[in-house]
A and B are shown apart, each in its own frame.
Chain A
Amino acid sequence: MSENLLEATGVEKHFPITKGLFKRQIGAVRAVDGIDLSIRTGETLGLVGESGSGKSTAGRLFTRILEPTAGTITFEGEDISHKSVTQMRPLRRDVQMIFQDPYSSLNPRHTVGAIISAPLQIQNIPTPNGVKKAVQDLLALVGLNPEHYNRYPHEFSGGQRQRIGIARALALRPKLIIADEPVSALDVSIQAQVVNLMEDLQREFNLTYLFIAHDLSVVRHISDRVAVMYLGKIVEVADRDDLYKNPRHPYTVALMSAVPVPDPVRRDRAQRERVLLTGDVPSPINPPSGCRFRTRCWKAQEICATEEPPLITRLDDPESHLTACHFPVVNDETVAGRRPAATPA
């Protein structure tokens, strides 16, 4: 359980911004800017953050759809940071991805059978009972009618399409599945069905998940550990219950307090306890110096602008709880209604 399936050390991804005829590089979008993260065998690691935090880029780096600008990514101890497409192919059996949008991630001109069997054919996986049988087994596994293998994606609803995407990801019996916002495009009841399905499949096939999402309630439900990203950095990572009970980073606290409470009786209390984050996430082209959250943080002091806080264990947290903050939030600290004192630089 505690063995690391995937390990990222100092991983960066900078997308160049070019200008002019000769594509002179004038800057870079620092989407992922030095993250250390490990995914343990058999766990579900939740990765949360606002849009633009770099969580999807991180997911794409781990599957090596993208190549890191710096740092190393190892999968089962093997360095995969700069492997070519051909070198990666055998590894693709072990790492699969589920995408957010069930409409654009399935080829509309291919039948469901063709979509789900494509990974089998690319990898030359023998199907003793025929490809059709293999596809039908997968369809049944994700709760779809096996008779529908000849249908096209448009004949299915959003939730059913997401099940097709899951069947495709499962076809190669991978060890690690990276799910990028797999349920955020779905209605609540369908969302819950897909979450339940993912949990069942994890138990059945000993899968490891990286679950990328912005919905903190869903992430809490499904994850064993949770990492919080802000502007290309991991600001906090901890065991699920630890993180939700004792969030340390002011950003984590703010994020959690912003989730609406589905209880009208507690409406006033929830609003009083809310941390108000003002403004938007700064640009990843030119992130703030020091701690990147300081421009929106109510606890920011001088040191936050000059020194970047390392991701380490703070206060009396367990070893597994890491926070990158000079002034972590202590238990029972009053945070409600706090706004940053200074105007953003």
Chain B
Amino acid sequence: MSIGTPASRPFLEVKDLTIRFETDDGIVQAVTESSFTLEKGKTLGIVGESGSGKSVTSLGILGLHRTRSNAKVSGEIWLEDQELVTATDEDVRKLRGGKMSMIFQDPLSAMHPYFTVGSQIVEAYRVHHPGVNKKVARERAIDMLARVGIPQPERRFNDYAHQFSGGMRQRAMIAMALVNDPALLIADEPTTALDVTVQAQILDLIRDLQEEFGSAVIMITHDLGVVAELADDVLVMYGGKIIEKGPAVDLFQAPEHPYTWGLLGSMPRLDREVRDRLNPVKGSPPSLINLPSGCSFHPRCPFAERNGDRCFTEIPLLGGPRHPVACHLPEDDRPRIFQQEVRPNL
């Protein structure tokens, strides 16, 4: 925790964050009553399938929904002692790219094709350091490019995004995101488009830079392997809601939500013997416009029948004696069901 923050308040605190988009087809319930905290120097992993609300959560924190007039946001987002949901556009703009920044999935579309990579990093720096002259900013940008492992940074400074390879481009975007020493770094599927060897390099880089700068990192991904490598804590999202959260070790060793079990069962693993068959979650993710009644996972849940009609009618709340889980299965039975019925098939 940094000096100057009251001991009671975490570095980042998200409380009951709800994000809705009004569309012609109906209201998209992108995020519903999400709450979590994150301390400096720690990494929070957010996992879930497409449409689970994981990316929208991060856009909400950065205030990037503000350009969309159909977005409705409620709840609170505290970054140290500043509240972001009610903050003015101007205040959020000052933080964005400075105190908090983002690494996007696709660096080719996140970078401007008409400007050199270097000039874009310089711009990001000068926006937050208005007094700095161009020469100093240029040195800073070259320094950042070198820091993220780009060879010949002085020369590459003048290249355009398309002249970089995929891995180098992702490094350049990380350089841009880190140029102002952000205290909060959000990485949205930063390695999904990359080869495993490059992915390993980029994850190493994020880890090293986090150690160096002590930033808080939110890592959004659908790859449980990436989460296991980096995250201290994990949120599992489904249908716009957090359905399980806790320390990474607990979530991988003793997961309690049937959806988390399903995610683990879907994944072939190099560190285990080959299974005859994968055990995926059946069906497909729900529409965020017409969420199923009760627990939104019930149509895909192999255990829904065990609780009478409760799963079909009543929305489960996050809670439990070990780590928070939103499931109607009896608290005391969940570890037993996992050990006896689920784990043997993983």
* Residue positions of A touching B, CB distance < 8 A: 50-51, 157-160, 187-193, 195-196, 199, 214, 216-218, 220-221, 240-241, 244, 254-267, 270-271, 274, 276-280
Contacts and interface: CB of A to CB of B under 8 A. Distances in A.
A184 to B, nearest CB: 10
B33 to A, nearest CB: 23
Interface string B214-244: 0000000011111111010000000000000
Nearest to A219: B268
What 3 A-B pairs come out closest when comparing CB atoms? A260-B225, A192-B280, A221-B268
A262 B228 contact: yes
27 contacts: A50-B196, A157-B284, A188-B49, A189-B281, A190-B49, A190-B280, A192-B265, A192-B267, A196-B280, A214-B195, A214-B196, A217-B269, A221-B278, A254-B197, A258-B196, A259-B225, A260-B203, A260-B226, A261-B269, A262-B224, A264-B231, A264-B248, A264-B252, A265-B249, A265-B252, A267-B228, A271-B204
B298 to A, nearest CB: 16
B116 interface: no
Interface stretch (B9-17, B70-78, B121-129, B165-173): B165-173
Contacts of A278: 201
Contacts of B277: 196, 199
Interface string B271-293: 10011011111101100000000
A330 to B, nearest CB: 20
Contacts of A261: 225, 228-229, 269-271
B266 A50 contact: no
Nearest to A195: B278
B200 interface: yes
A101 to B, nearest CB: 13
A51 B334 CA distance: 42
Contacts of A220: 268, 270, 274
Contacts of A263: 228, 252, 271
A284 to B, nearest CB: 13
Given A189-B263, A260-B203, A216 B228 contact: no
Nearest to B281: A189
A267 B229 contact: yes
B252 A51 contact: no
A26 B167 CA distance: 28
Which of B224, B228, B277, B285 has the most C-beta atoms of chain A within 10 angstroms of its own C-beta?
B228
A107 to B, nearest CB: 22
Nearest to B250: A264
B284 A259 contact: no
Given A193-B282, A280-B167, A280-B168, A188 B224 contact: yes
Contacts of B223: 188, 260
B100 to A, nearest CB: 25
Given A192-B267, A193-B280, A267-B229, 6 more contacts: A214-B195, A220-B268, A254-B197, A274-B200, A277-B201, A280-B167
